[in-house]
């Protein structure tokens, strides 16, 4: 899920025109549209079917937002496991730099989700958030970015939760609180204070417009 995302596509149109035309034709096919989610697969499938060279960013997709730590173990020690639950897909490079975020930097990007969620699962959302107005304020807020997680899905697959009309996913990774590399699961990327100010200023500005 979400390993390849078309948030940023760089194409030399003179060299790859055949592949782009193939993507256009594929996008017209209603049967194929039911096999893909949006246009993320269409871009590279067009190049593939046209026999063109293409490359995909080698770092898997991630989730970006507030970082939370799993509760302590039964023996009182920290779990060392962190998670992020968010609707925002992000991509980073091999140097752990944020490349782009796809989703508008809003806590919940789906309109009327607070009302729909309470109507669909009233007991669940009332126990967690109290009432619709509180949930709506949370959903409408700009995303608070603290870090991102590139999960190792062979160990901890993406976990879909009920928030934001089921568009919210959680990803898990171990932190740096241990020295045994064999315990590494996924990758938690945090930012400097300067980077956080910059990213969150963009988030607030985007959502205020």
pLDDT digits (tens, 9 = 90+) for 17-69: 999 999 999 989 888 888 887 777 888 999 999 999 999 888 888 999 999 99
- Do 90 and 168 fall within a single domain? yes
Distance CA 57, CA 138 (A): 32
- Do 80 and 138 fall within a single domain? yes
User: What's the total number of domains in the chain?
Assistant: 2
Residue 158 near residue 151, CB atoms below 8 Å = yes
Ranges of the chain with pLDDT below 50: 178-182
- Do 182 and 158 fall within a single domain? yes
Q: What is the model's pLDDT at position 180?
A: 45
Q: What is the model's pLDDT at position 178?
A: 47
Domain end point (choices 37, 56, 75): 56
- Do 26 and 121 fall within a single domain? no
Look up the pTM and report it: 0.82
- Do 165 and 72 fall within a single domain? yes
- Do 114 and 184 fall within a single domain? yes
- Do 23 and 87 fall within a single domain? no
**Could you list the residue range(s) of the whole structural domain that residue 40 is in?**
1-56
């Amino acid at each position: 899920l979400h390993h390849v995302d078309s948030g940023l596509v760089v194409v030399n149109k003179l060299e790859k025109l055949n592949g782009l035309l193939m993507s256009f034709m594929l996008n017209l096919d209603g049967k194929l549209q039911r096999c893909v989610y949006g246009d993320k697969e269409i871009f590279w499938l067009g190049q593939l079917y046209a026999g063109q060279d293409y490359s995909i960013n080698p770092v898997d997709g991630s989730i970006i937002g507030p970082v939370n730590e799993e509760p302590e173990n039964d023996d009182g020690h920290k779990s060392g496991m962190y998670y992020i639950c968010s609707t925002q897909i992000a991509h980073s490079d091999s140097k752990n730099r944020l490349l782009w975020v796809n989703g508008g930097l809003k806590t919940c990007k789906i309109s009327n989700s607070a009302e729909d969620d309470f109507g669909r699962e009233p007991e669940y959302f009332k126990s967690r958030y109290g009432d619709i107005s509180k949930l709506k304020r949370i959903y409408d807020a700009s995303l608070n970015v603290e870090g991102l997680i590139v999960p190792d899905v062979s160990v901890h697959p993406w976990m879909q939760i009920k928030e934001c009309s089921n568009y919210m996913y959680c990803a898990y990774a171990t932190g740096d609180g241990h020295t045994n590399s064999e315990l590494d699961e996924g990758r938690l990327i945090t930012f400097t204070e300067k980077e956080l100010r910059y990213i969150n200023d963009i988030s607030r500005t985007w959502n205020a417009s």
